[in-house]
Homo-oligomer: A and B are copies of this chain.
Amino acid sequence: MQLGMIGLGRMGGNMVRRLMRTGHEVAVYSATAKTRETFAMETGAFAASSIQELVARLRPPRVVWLMVPAAAVDTTLKEVAGLVQKGDIIVDGGNSYYIDDIRRAKELAPQGIHYVDCGTSGGVWGLDRGYCLMIGGPKDAVLYLDPIFKSLAPGKGTALKTPGREKTGGTAEEGYLHCGPVGGGHFVKMVHNGIEYGLMAAYAEGLNILRHANVGKKEHAIDAETTPLRHPEHYQYNFDLADITELWRRGSVIASWLLDLCATEFAGDPDLSKFAGSVADSGEGRWTITAAIEEGSPAPVLSAALYQRFSSRGEDDFARKVLSAMRFGFGGHVEKSDK
């Protein structure tokens, strides 16, 4: 099939590479001339020098796939929408808020343009592993794009057949799925990322507990501001986290791809010394909690995971001062300087 890709960042570039491997014809555009030219040279994809040129290159029904930062989707979409025609399909494959999908589809409907939202998981590994695709939008458009989705997705791969699905059809086993009407793809991707935050936090907290299992070996101050450790003899372990994360990869209940990544990072740098611990969040975690709250669906674990990221960036500094101020107020407690 023929497809125009706008955006050649970490995700978009590799997706084009993967599409071209299976014989699709891809025209690309990136705002930075050098990026698109280097990319064209390397891959043989046609690099358009403008969105207008990109769209002009495509045959109807045109397929334009946006792979740009969430904050840039609306501007780009507006430009594309002004160039395409009735029956063409625009796919937003980035990390858009599904509520924006609903709005955009409504805005494009009068022109007869089909809008498809596609949540894409896979990160920098997708080129080789394939991308897990969560798709929302009108049935016909999604069906039309099937060859594209099939090429991007991982396929059945080495994952074992799920017992009970022997006779179940559909594309889920191929790693892509039409989840529902417009916004449904990004909704599922949003929750996917919300879960991801929770999983990551569970590993992080557990590994932190292992890391501090030698706390009984340390000297502790004896004063009214410090809780004595009752049994230092219970905390005398220096665990090797590289070995332990590797161990858990085999046969344990908590084996996962995220754990594989932990093992990799610990293998090279057991103290994770190259990281400072300031953790960004890119929107889906927040939206997941917002959805949970609007639904009245409790999400204490996912929320706590999100808040840890806020705190990692110092967003609770003032709250902590309020605590110190109250402690000073009722007990005359002065903060210890050796944080």
Contact = CB atoms under 8 A, between A and B. Distances in A.
A251 B130 contact: yes
Contacts of A165: 242, 246, 263, 267
Given A99-B234, A154-B250, A281-B227, A198 B301 contact: yes
**10 cross-chain pairs, A with B, having the tightest CB-CB distances, nearest first:** A198-B202, A256-B256, A277-B320, A164-B267, A261-B329, A175-B250, A154-B251, A298-B307, A195-B206, A208-B319
Interface in A117-176: 121-126, 129-132, 134, 153-160, 162-165, 168, 170, 172-176
A162 B336 contact: no
Given A201-B198, A207-B322, A288-B206, A184 B239 contact: yes
Contact of A248 (B99, B187, B192): B192
With most chain B CB atoms within 10 A of its CB, the pick from A102, A236, A263, A318 is: A318
Contact of A324 (B98, B203, B275): B275
A102 B319 contact: no
Interface string A291-313: 11111111111111111111111
Interface in A79-102: 97-99, 102
A316 B308 contact: yes
Interface stretch (A30-38, A41-49, A57-65, A209-217): A209-217
A286 B293 contact: yes
A227 B286 contact: yes
B225 A10 contact: no
A219 interface: no
Copies assembled: 4
Interface string A16-39: 000000000000000000000000
Contacts of A261: 325-326, 329-330
A176 to B, nearest CB: 7
A116 interface: no
A197 B254 CA distance: 9
A272 B329 CA distance: 12
Q: Is the interface of A mostly helix, strand, loop or mixed?
A: helix
Contacts of A1: none
A275 B180 contact: no
A184 B157 CA distance: 37
A51 to B, nearest CB: 19
A315 B291 CA distance: 14
A251 B133 CA distance: 9
A205 B197 CA distance: 12
A229 interface: yes
B298 A311 contact: yes
